[in-house]
Amino acid sequence: MKNYIQRGEVIEVPAATSAVASGQVVVVGALLCVANHPAKQGEPFNANLVGVYEVPKAAGAAVAQGAPLYWDASVGVFAAAGAPAAGDVSGSVAAFAAAAAGDSFVLARFSGVPGIVAV
């Protein structure tokens, strides 16, 4: 196929507004990804769009395996309950394993499919 570019599992982006840590969840438009390595502000870095990662979870609510998750931009965690607010991103991540209400992390599967940015 002449127009094939790549699998699309990794994207290179600049650390636009602040430094980025390895393993940090990063929002790139409507994409949710995980940084492969640290980068200073303005430096490019690679981020994975697909895979399973241990990511921060909102406290107080259990998450069922397979539940859709959205990125709560106001506090920097994934949530499964409640309605997304302005700036939150949903649509591309689901719980890979169940997490208890008291857990601060959840195993999440990133699908690489662009999410929906709540407005």
Query: pLDDT tens across 59-78, in order?
Result: 888 999 999 999 998 999 99
Q: So what's the pLDDT on residue 16?
A: 85
Q: So what's the pLDDT on residue 23?
A: 96
Provide the 10 A C-beta neighbour count for residue 32: 28
In three-state secondary structure terms, 41 is: coil
C-alpha 14/C-alpha 110 separation (Å) is: 20
User: Which residues 6+ apart lie within 8 Å of 27 measured at CB?
Assistant: 71, 73, 89
Tokens of 42: 């303005």
Give residue 115's identity as a one-letter amino acid code: G
Tell me the helix, strand and coil percentages in the chain, rounded to 5.
Answer: 0, 45, 55
Q: So what's the pLDDT on residue 119?
A: 56
Q: Which residues of the chain have pLDDT under 70?
A: 118-119
The pTM of this model reads: 0.89
C-alpha 108/C-alpha 98 separation (Å) is: 10
